[in-house]
Amino acid sequence: MVPSRDRTASAATGRRAPPARPGRGGLLAALATLCAAAPGTAAAAEGTNGAAAGDLVCYGVSAEQLACYEKPRPFGFVLNVPGDIGGFVRDGFRRENALTLAVIAAATAGLLLVDQDLVDGAHDLGRRLHVSEGRTGKTPGVPIPYPTDAGSALYYIGDGMVPVLITAGMLGYGWIASDRRALQTTSHLVEGLLSVAIVAQTVKHLTGRQSPSRATEPGGEWRPFTNPATYHENVPAFDAFPSGHMATAMVAVTVLAEDYPEYRLIRPIGYGLMTLLGFQMLNNDVHWASDYPLAIAVGYGLGKRAASHGRKAVPAADAPGPVAGQGRRPEVSVLPLPLHDGGGLLVLGSF
């Protein structure tokens, strides 16, 4: 049901304040550190954990196929970004992608019609399930936010720091295990995150859509081409479309699934977590549901492009020698995790 005029008029003053959004300075600093470290550690992966084929190191991803990786190019994750974005935009105008574009547009348009109802429904469901609006906490002097309850944990799934921590973990594993695939995955993640940040922020500035927390009318007002100074004085009043959280989560899931296709649970688990994130961003008045379709497409398309660099598929029959990880099956365990105010699931996997 569309809110009454009285409720709409009070939106600017009566809605919950949006969850605190962490400053991007620390996030960008972390990305810059990973950017600088990744190529420097690539030399450690010269054949100690894989079968070298010229300048390639190969890994078995199925009984019939290998994935062979080049050494990451110094600063390739930065140099590839313009080409990734340009190629993504060009793909949008290809005839073979017309149906995909139509689906994205139709999904966005359809959700626009029911955006306010979906946000109101998320509020009702959140209250029934005792899911808070969700705010991340922060320790003074420490730039890394953290979840404080179940609601903020759901919101934290899309926080930029999560893929940064995943990227740091891949970098550490690649360096310790001399694993070139992990190092290339580090490069792919950084490349995808940078590309998504540029595209999402550009579209946000162009569209200027109000977040639910700042909405002055049902579904929020659109203020295209807002003056940048005005935009940054009150970011939630202009930055709803598309969802950077959803695009960031999608690019991380896509890169990991592309680089580790033998781990078939990456996509189902990732998409499940993204669904929870999508609900929570409605519940805490950060996004409208129609902010999601384009964001998912951006994350997926740029993730596919990032993961394609420095990697090629080779038939297993053409393996030049021993293949890294051959004879070892991926293992994933899901265990119950008791929490102070409820419970959850702990997912453990072996590389």
Q: What is the chain's length?
A: 351
Q: Give the per-residue pLDDT at 157.
A: 83
Report the candidate in 213, 208, 203 with the shortest Cα–Cα distance to residue 247: 203
3-state secondary structure 1-56: CCCCHHHHHCHHHHCCCCCCCCCHHHHHHHHHHHHHHHHHHHHHHCCCCCEEECCE
Q: Give the per-residue pLDDT at 203.
A: 97
**Residue 23 Cα to chain centre, angstroms:** 17
Q: Is the pTM of this model over 0.75?
A: yes
Q: Give the per-residue pLDDT at 13.
A: 39
Along the 351 residues of the chain, how does pLDDT read in single tens digits? 444 333 343 344 345 555 545 444 455 555 555 555 555 444 444 433 444 445 788 998 888 889 999 888 888 899 999 999 999 999 988 999 999 999 999 999 999 999 999 999 999 999 999 888 766 655 556 666 777 777 888 888 877 788 888 999 999 999 999 899 999 999 999 999 999 999 999 999 999 999 999 999 999 999 999 999 999 999 999 999 999 999 999 999 999 999 999 999 999 999 999 999 999 999 999 999 999 999 999 999 999 999 999 998 889 888 765 577 554 555 556 666 665 555 566 666 655
The bridge status of strand 65-69 relative to strand 136-137 is: unpaired
Q: How far is CA 44 from CA 58, 172, 289, 320, in A?
A: 15, 12, 45, 21
Domain extents in the chain: 24-47+71-310
Q: What angle do CA 253, 38, 294 make, to 5 degrees?
A: 30
Q: Give the per-residue pLDDT at 142.
A: 60
Q: Give the per-residue pLDDT at 49.
A: 42
Q: Which residues contact 350 (CB under 8 A, 6 or more apart)?
A: 330, 331, 332
In this structure, which CATH number among 1.10.3470, 1.20.144, 3.90.820, 3.30.420 belongs to the domain 24-47+71-310?
1.20.144
Q: Give the per-residue pLDDT at 327.
A: 44
Q: Give the per-residue pLDDT at 43.
A: 44
Q: Give the per-residue pLDDT at 12.
A: 41
What the block records as the tokens of 252 is 């991380």
